[in-house]
Amino acid sequence: MKHNYEQLIGLSRKKKRSKKEARTLYDSVDEIIDAVKENIDREKGLLFLYKLYEPLFVTSAERYHRMFNGSEEFDDILSEAKTLFLELLNRYKRRLNGYNMYFTYYIKIMLNGYLFAYMQRMARQMPIIKMTTSEYLEKTELQFLKKEFKENLREIYHKLMTNPDFRRPYYRKVFYLYFIEHRSLTYISKIIGYTPVRMWAVVKMLKAKLREELAIKGYDSTDYDILGVSNIMALDGG
């Protein structure tokens, strides 16, 4: 399948993507990776992937350059990030540990984890411990995913609460207590002063909007299962 690389680059740089656009981008990237692994237009595919993830390489290199007080040259860290990228690309399997994972999600977690290990090795002059993808995910992925998910929740919270449709003061409290602190409807109803039935109506409305915002960021029901938040994200439960 032929892909318009420039169109996909443009789509990846959009600050806000629809659920359909996000799915198109992620599916296209995975198809291009499959082709690269099968040596189909490998050179063009790799050039596209390096251009697509250039912002990730730069931000990751900048992060660890600061974190380790400039102990390694920025360009050296950036080069290592690009080298690790190719290694991780070759290891990537969309269905891993029993669930699907898009490459964009995978590479963000894995690249930063391995780059951190590289910086530790350089700082201490110790041999880097090479783990398999599965081993690394089992040890660190859930921690990364949960932290990232919580950060996304907070970001969406601030975004929604500046929307005129969500400016009722108790909406903010309901969102924070339910989605971030995982409080029960009974508890929230006592805090807010409304009945649990009314609180559920508010939660359901907020939940629908939250799922829409999370879908733009690439989350789906499989991610909710992995993160252990299926109960609070289900539209038919509270």
Supply the pLDDT for residue 79. 92
Tell me if 156 sits within 8 A of 219, measured CB to CB.
Answer: no
Supply the pLDDT for residue 162. 81
Let me know how many helices (H) and strands (E) the chain has, helices first.
Answer: 13, 2
Distance CA 80, CA 144 (A): 21
Q: Residue ranges of the chain with pLDDT lower than 50? A: 97-99, 126-129, 131, 133, 137
Supply the pLDDT for residue 15. 79
Supply the pLDDT for residue 29. 92
pLDDT, one tens digit per residue, over 34-47 is 999 999 999 999 99
Sign of CA dihedral 142, 80, 56, 102: negative
Task: Tell whether pTM > 0.75.
Answer: no
Supply the pLDDT for residue 97. 43
Q: For 63-69, which contacts have Cβ atoms below 8 Å and span 24 or more sequence positions?
A: 63/112, 64/115, 64/116, 64/119, 67/119, 68/119, 68/122, 68/123
Q: Spell out the alpha helix ranges (H) of 38-161.
A: 42-52, 54-67, 74-91, 103-124, 133-136, 142-160
- Quick one: which of 48, 57, 55, 63 has its CA closest to 9? 48
